[in-house]
Structure 1
Amino acid sequence: MSKVVIKAENIAKQYRLGLVGTGTVRDDLKRWWYQMRGKEDPFLKIGEANDRSSKGNSDYVWSLRDINFEINQGDSVGIIGRNGAGKSTLLKILSQVTQPTTGKIFTKGRIASLLEVGTGFHPEMTGRENIYLNGAILGMRKQEITRKFDEIVAFSGVERYIDTPVKRYSSGMYVRLAFAVAAHLESEILIVDEVLAVGDAEFQKKCLGKMNDVSKGEGRTVLFVSHNMAAVKSLCNKGIVLEHGKVVFNSDAESAVNYYLERESFEKLSYNKHELSDFYNSEKIKINSIELSSENFFSIENKTFLKVNYVVLEKMNAFNFSLVLKDFNEVVIFNSISSVIEISQGNYETIFEIPENFLNDNKYKLRLIFVNQSKIIVDLDDILSWNAIESQERKVNWFGKIVGVVRPEFNWITNKIE
């Protein structure tokens, strides 16, 4: 039978915007008066969801609300969601950095947390001194730190600078050392926020390998926040999706990632045509629409065309397009750059052609960049998405397992519309 090591019951966290604490004496007196009469805190009844896309009318927002879940020993859990969804707030509550406004958190075992770059570091102290300081903050005894010291330093890769004050470290060196300490603490629960994005690719790979060893090899519990969906899929066996401070999906990692990507992308990109007349205007160009079309329902056996309709407001020299095609795991499939042209004022249509039998059966999204004299004037990321479908009669796998950026020669055709 699985052993529950983390349990959240009706967790909620409320913040008051722009102020620290309750804010005013009047609010304090009102809260005290309700409490004296045995009534519920009046400020728990008000507030809005933490939706960063809307302005809102209340001074109170719920960063988290109605959070319930259980995590078993040995689980590796990916917590995913948009910026502002409440991921970091949840990890702070689990790490006991802050208390929930309502609800309870039950944890069993020692917790090692890596929430921000340099958490627990003193800038005037050396790397060696900060290892002991940070280890003590995380609950390690001095003998335990000394026993693991060489291993921590070797993993961090900052041995040459270990007796240098950490204020002279780069952010990457900070996170290397901080992660090395947290990962080598013999804790039952390891909590890692999106700090690994600071490190280089080699160190990120090393960190993911270490977390994999901690979870699968040592049977410890890992909570991992990341926007790298491929890493979440490979590292985690469970996934929790947060949206506006609420749990909207809780299942296995692959299902959670697929749910998030489809919800995130198709909420904005549930079409293969985007009207942009009211979406974007600049001094040089106004984009009317961007549209994808195919001869047969986006079959990979047929050509796919991207049509861009736009108005050039002033003459531009050295004008060109850059198109980036990605899958829903944010893996770049290719990057194509059009030839440089001189373009005058007027209405134009540019057509980009993806040849037949080029893509795999998958979901894709586009980033389209308008460039003038090597400067980006419009950057439309994730502007369109679509499913490339492979027929049952013909199985085509043009690129197989190849990933990375390639720059094939594609056709870009620009015509002026009279």
Structure 2
Amino acid sequence: MSPVIKVENLSKAYQLGEIGTGTLSRDLERYWARIRGKEDPFLKIGEVNDRSKKGDSDVVWSLKDINFDIQQGDAIGIIGRNGAGKSTLLKILSRVTAPTTGSVKIKGRIASLLEVGTGFHPELSGRENIYLNGAILGMRKAEIKRKFDEIVDFSGVERYVDTPVKRYSSGMYVRLAFAVAAHLESEILIVDEVLAVGDAEFQKKCLGKMGDVSKGEGRTILFVSHNMAAIQKLCKHGMLLENGKLICVGKTESVIDQYLQDSKVKKAVFEIPLPHNADEMIGYTSKIQIENSYGDVIQEIPVGQNWQIRVFFKINKKAQHFIIGLGINSFIDVNISTSWSTKTDLDEGYYEAVFKETHLILAPGNYNLTVGLSNFERSVHYLENVASFVISEATDTFIDSSIVRTTNVGFLLNPMQVEISSL
């Protein structure tokens, strides 16, 4: 089967600081090189799009030498840090902008949702914009009319469908825009992070619709999101971009894992910056350590072994009914467990709390920690995802005959009791 999207040696360069090359002589040099079939002399000095470094060139490569194929019906999750080139790639695929070098071959019509209001005319009503978008996709009026009620019902903006969309809120805008993109009969659906504008209920509804579009209707989806849970739920395959380069393409789980490994620095001790109003606070957390059950500081915890978290904190003035809590979150920000100390009264001074884990068996992967101090059930110092740790695969030290697998089975390996009997 031939791919519906084929990208070869795709690159996109941008000029920093000014529009064009700045001088007539530069433009003439570029024109002379182009008519001779030579490389643009100013692209030779282009640099990788690393935002953390100043660089020496005013030409940066937002994308550099990207190659991939996408088959019909695939749902592809595109992930990477801000500035990695994800949105630029989608804009090129949507033909919003042209590549500097390379080629893109696409079979079928594309419906894109790149920004709030993409493809909408602000002066036209919601109804008129539905027909306008359908016409842009090459659909007949009868086809759009057949889908019209379904689009309006999905979007939930029926009351405002005859109001100019310039008066819509950003949430209403994206609701209608997604409904149009998902329901009109395009072969390829491209969705950027724009869904984050919608509320949680609508995001869930959108993910369900995209799943139906991909699995049930055989349409191709390209989905950019920083929500790893959404990527994992919707997409079978993923691609990771970093500084404009394609790092890897493969199964969603393996791509997300590499992204998280690259994003996290393995640490065992996390020093917490002093709050700006530390002296005025009742108390604050100063340090967190990841340890094995003997109290040794470790960077990775072998799966199945006991471990503990040591939290250092200071109390500035007597705290009554004091509680310290520790939450464990997965890499896709799902809360796995939360533990609390018993209520106690603490005098001014330095303290440590040790959370010992002897029962919970976490699957291999990356996990985040949230720490909270409170008294009288009021928050004193709350730190979300302030530290992280890694559970590593280590079968030679993990002996439990009731556990058959340790990967792709969820976050918890604690087995339920199972009884098999003859009937």
Q: Give TM-score scaled by structure 1 length.
A: 0.81
Is 1:381 matched with 2:380?
no
Is 1:366 matched with 2:364?
no
Contact 1:302 1:355 in 2 (8 A): no
Structure 1 vs Structure 2: percent identity of aligned residues? Answer: 54
Deviates further, 197-206 or 143-152:
197-206
Tell me the alpha carbon deviations over residues 301-324 of structure 1, each in whole angstroms, 9 at most, x when there is no partner: 665332344678x87989986644
Contact 2:362 2:391 in 1 (8 A): no
Partner of 1:392: 399
Unpaired segments ≥5 residues, structure 1: 404-418
Partner of 2:101: 102
- Give the RMSD, CA atoms, in angstroms: 3.4
Q: Which of 331, 335, 338 lines up with 2:334 in the alignment? A: 331
Q: Which of 262, 266, 269 lines up with 1:273 in the alignment? A: 269
Deviates further, 365-374 or 322-331:
365-374
Tell me the alpha carbon deviations over residues 10-67 of structure 1, each in whole angstroms, 9 at most, x when there is no partner: 1011112232333443432332344466532112111221223333333221110010
Is 1:224 matched with 2:223?
yes
Count residues in correspondence.
391
Contact 1:326 1:364 in 2 (8 A): no
Amino acid of the residue matched to residue 307 of structure 1? Answer: R
Amino acid of the residue matched to residue 267 of structure 2? Answer: Y
Partner of 2:310: 307
Partner of 1:258: 257
Cα distance in 2, alignment partners of residues 111 and 273 from structure 1: 48
Q: Which of 290, 293, 318 lines up with 2:291 in the alignment? A: 293
Cα distance in 1, alignment partners of residues 379 and 123 from structure 2: 41
Contact 2:285 2:381 in 1 (8 A): no
| Change in 2 beyond 3 A, CA 1:301/1:210 | closer
Partner of 2:81: 82
Amino acid of the residue matched to residue 384 of structure 1? Answer: S
| Change in 2 beyond 3 A, CA 1:302/1:220 | closer
Shift of 1:124: 3.2
Cα distance in 1, alignment partners of residues 380 and 89 from structure 2: 37
Shift of 1:116: 1.0
Cα distance in 1, alignment partners of residues 149 and 159 from structure 2: 13
Contact 2:330 2:411 in 1 (8 A): no
Partner of 2:418: none
Shift of 1:105: 0.5
Question: What is the correspondence of 1:9-158 to structure 2 with a 5 Å cutoff?
Answer: 9-35=8-34, 38-158=37-157
Deviates further, 2-11 or 300-309:
300-309
| Change in 2 beyond 3 A, CA 1:219/1:36 | closer
| Change in 2 beyond 3 A, CA 1:353/1:309 | closer
Shift of 1:274: 3.4
Question: What is the correspondence of 1:165-176 to structure 2 with a 5 Å cutoff?
Answer: 165-176=164-175
Partner of 1:236: 235
| Change in 2 beyond 3 A, CA 1:237/1:383 | same
**SS of structure 2 residue aligned to 1:195:** helix
Shift of 1:68: 0.4
**SS of structure 2 residue aligned to 1:172:** helix
